[in-house]
Every structure is written in structure tokens, then in C-alpha cells.
Structure 1
Amino acid sequence: MTSPIKIDIWSDIACPWCYIGKRHLEGGLAALGDDAPEVEIEYHSFELAPDTPVDFEGSEVDFLAGHKGIPMEQARMMIDRVTGVAAQAGLDYDYDALQHTKTLKAHELLHFAKEQGRQLELSERLFRAYFTEGRHVGRTDELVELAAEVGLDADAAREALESGRYGAAVQADIAQAGAYGIRGVPFFVFEGKYGVSGAQPAEVFSQVLTQVAGERDGAAA
């Protein structure tokens, strides 16, 4: 019995391409059907905009223009483009409702969820809350509610966030990304040796998974 293929994903809850990349990876696995290998997925922290205030006043266009220096018209075009790509992946992004915020606490909660065996469920829940439901994923009360929705203990989740005890784990992930030379997310690492950057099409993930599985079968023969 071979162990699952390990997929490490560096990602940020506030990254629109990370949610799309998640769907494309899932699509790549689904496309392999009965030939799909078993996988073990682990999410790692990456803050795209660590200087973001928790309570940012304004829209995503305002953030891109004011904090990133991108012209307003170009920012609107970027958002329209990513919304269109997301729709093709079955995701209904709502940038009018989106509440831009700092994602540090969300990353801490993901580390707590990993210890409880609920990281994948929480990752999906946070993405959906942020991009399609207009929830504020920077505030502890909101994060605790979302944690409870995926079966995590609300009191334990609150304690984890208020104590800040997963802060070091978040920074360790970010440092590891730097060691790997990761400058943008999503970034997928298969079996600790193959890197895939960006929200590649589903067929790319199918090819990588098939290649890795084939190499493992060859090595075991």
C-alpha cells in the first residue's frame, strides 16, 4: 500500500487565484477518474499584503489603487478578469460585497484546524466566506463562527486566536516560502520536489499527478 502523494500548497485566503487554483487542482484530480492517485493536501501560510489593516475602509479597487499604486481603471479590469476566470471554475466572486482585510488571523486559524484534522474544510469555508459571501475574515468573532461551521470547537478556536500561539507556525510557513523562492501564490509542491506556480489549468495538475504517480510506481517496481 503506497502512501498518498503529498501536495503542499502555499496560499492566502485573500488571493483570488488561490481559490481558482484550488478548484483547478480538484478538477485535475476528478478528470483522472479511477486512475486518480490518493493525495494528502496541506495548506501553508502566505500573506500577499501583510501591511493591510484589519478594518480596511474601501473597496478592492480602492485597495489596489491606494496601497498598490495600480491605476483605478487597470484595477477594475484586473477584477473583471479574475471574476470571469473564477466563474469558469464555478466560483461566483462578489467584489462589491468583499471586505478587504488582513489575513494573519485566518492563517493562524488554519494551523489550529490542521491540528484538529479540519484544515481542508476550513480552507474552503474561508475562501467562500471571503470571495462570495462578503464575510469579514479578519475579525476573531467572525472566524470563530466559521470555525464552528466546519465542526471545530468554538471556544478552542477563540482561545487559539486570542493567544496568538499559532503565530510562529504562520511565520515558519512564510519563511519556508522564501527558502523555496516563492514570491507569489498559489504555489503547489508535489512530493517536496515538483513545483507548480499559479492557478494552472486542471489538465496541468492531471499531468503532474500522473507523472508523480508513474515515477513512484517505477521506483517501487
Structure 2
Amino acid sequence: MTTAPSARLQVDIWSDIACPWCYVGKRRFEQALAKFPQRGEVDVVWHSFELDPAAQSHASLNMRDILAKKYGRSQEQAQQMLDSMTQTADAEGLTYHFDRLQVANTFQAHQLLHLAAEHGRQAALKERLLHAHFSEGLNVDDPETLITLAAEVGLDSALIRRALEQQTYAEAVRQDEAQAQRYGIQGVPFFVLDGTYGVSGAQSPETLLNALQQTWSERHPLQLIGVGSDSSAAGLCDDGSCTVPAPRDQN
């Protein structure tokens, strides 16, 4: 027996909690989805991506110093980068506080997102983690902080603690990252629509909406029913619709 393909459209999003553009991209995608007529038929799945798997959590590290060292910029240039990112976030209704941000390894947080997905709370936890990191300056690598944040979105504290202690979802994170490599993803956010189309970066809501519309139309092509092949009726309205006759040759 052949199983009919699902009528729903799945959007897989690779992103990192420590990525400022990922939070902006999330907001822009939400704006696009809100304008998409078939938004109720869209399933969004968040996937793990670590921009710096070797990152060491350290509350005293300064983002300006990190950027200056990473990109070979002066302190002033690094601060300008942070200010520009803050303004971009502000335009999307987000508040970034880089002055209080705690540099953190995100591997444990990604594990909890897989746990949350199994309980229908992934989207809520994704939002909570991003806000905690960029707006509140919380350490998203600290187990107790993670337990508190996950409990706030409805997950059981004992279940969360056990998952972290046993590294229950570590392999799931690695599988996401392996899939990202197979897709050739080198930066995030990265959107994969219906397993067919990829959109890289925090594109505008208009670009993301167009991607949704194109993917949906290709999965649900318009089929005309009861239309004959006789072209002699061009310009007539005898079949429930009016057609435009081809222009006559004036020569």
C-alpha cells in the first residue's frame, strides 16, 4: 500500500542559541508565517547547530574583546559591530544587552530542545533560551538555570535534570549537526522548506514569505477541472469564465 504524502509543509530551522542573527531570523520568520494563508498547515522544527562547539562558558568574557580578537578589529570597531546588531534586533522588537551577556557553550541547551520537542514545547523553550541569553544575560550552560528555564515552559524539572545528567539527547544534537554538514550549512540561521529549498541567513519577512508561497504552490499545484482543449472559444464566456482573445495580427 502506498502512503499518500502529507499535505503539511515542514520547515526545518538550524540555529544556535548563542547566535544573535538567529533570534532576529526567528522573528522575521514569524512575521512571514503570520502572513502565510496556510500557516496552520506548517510544522516548524528547530535543529541544533553550534557556532563554536569548543566554547568555554565564562561570565567574565567580554563580547567586544571576543569580536575584536576573532575578526582582527579594534575595540572601537568591535563595539560598532555590537551597536549595529543591537539596533537590528531593536527593529524586530528584541532587546539585546551585550554588556551583560554571558558567553556560554550551548550543547546542553540544544539537548533540552530535543527533550522539549518530544513534549510539544520546543518552540516555547527556543524562545525562552534566546531571551535568557541575549536579553537577560543568563548562563544558558548552567544546569540549574536550564532546569529553571525549561520548567517555566512546562517541562518537568526531574525529567530535565535526568536528561542533562545522563546526556540523553547528546546523540540527537550530533545527528542534527551531521545533517547540517550533509546539507552544506556553514552559517545560521538556515531554513529548509519541505526538504527541498534552503534559505540562508536572517532574510527579510518578504523573502521568507515568498519561499513559503513557492514551496506550497509546488506541493499543491492548481489543477483545472472540466476545461476543454478547444481554443476557438477564446474571448467567450460560455464556460463560467472569460478568456482574453489573442491580439489580431495587424499586418
TM-score grouping bracket, smaller chain normalisation: over 0.9
Q: After the TM superposition, which residues 14-163 of structure 1 pair with which residues of structure 2 at under 5 Å, given as runs?
A: 14-32=18-36, 34=37, 36=39, 38-66=41-69, 69-163=72-166
Residue in 1 that maps onto 2:208: 205
Which amino acid in structure 1 is aligned with residue 149 of structure 2? L
**CA shift for structure 1 position 57:** 2.5
Alignment partners' CA distance in 1, 2:7 and 2:96: 36
1:218 to 216, 221, 225: 221
- Pick the aligned partner of 1:196 from 185, 196, 199: 199
**Higher relative CO (CA 8 A, sep ≥ 6), structure 1 or 2?**
1
1:164-175 equivalences in 2 (<5 Å): 164-175=167-178
Structure 2: distance between partners of 1:220 and 1:128: 45
Q: CA deviation at 1:213?
A: 1.3
SS in 1 for 2:210: helix
Contact 1:37/1:209 (<8 A) preserved: no
Q: 3-state DSSP class of the match of 1:64?
A: helix
Whether the 8 Å CA contact 2:57–2:102 is kept in 1: the answer is no
Q: Choose between structure 1 and 2: higher helix proportion.
A: 1
Q: Please state how far the C-alpha of 1:203 moved relative to its aligned partner.
A: 0.5
AA partner of residue 21 (structure 1): G
Letter of the 2:33 counterpart: L
Distance between the aligned counterparts of 1:219 and 1:164, measured in 2? 47
| Greater than 6 Å deviation, 4+ residue runs | none
Larger Rg: 2
Counterpart secondary structure, 1:218: coil
Counterpart residue identity of residue 7, structure 2 = S
TM-score in terms of structure 2 length: 0.83
Structure 2 spans left out of the alignment, 5+ residues: 225-251
Residue 12 of structure 1 is matched in structure 2 by 16
User: Within 1, Cα distance between the matches of 2:53 and 2:22?
Assistant: 17
Gaps of 5+ in 1: none
Shift of 1:68: 5.5
**Per-residue CA shift, 1:179-200, capped at 9, x if unaligned?**
1110000000000010000000
Q: Deviations over 1:102-137 (max 9, x none)?
A: 111110111111111111110000011111111110
Percent identity between the aligned chains? 48
SS at match of 2:221: helix
Alpha-carbon deviation of 1:63?
2.1
Q: How many residues align?
A: 220
Corresponding residue SS for 1:43: strand
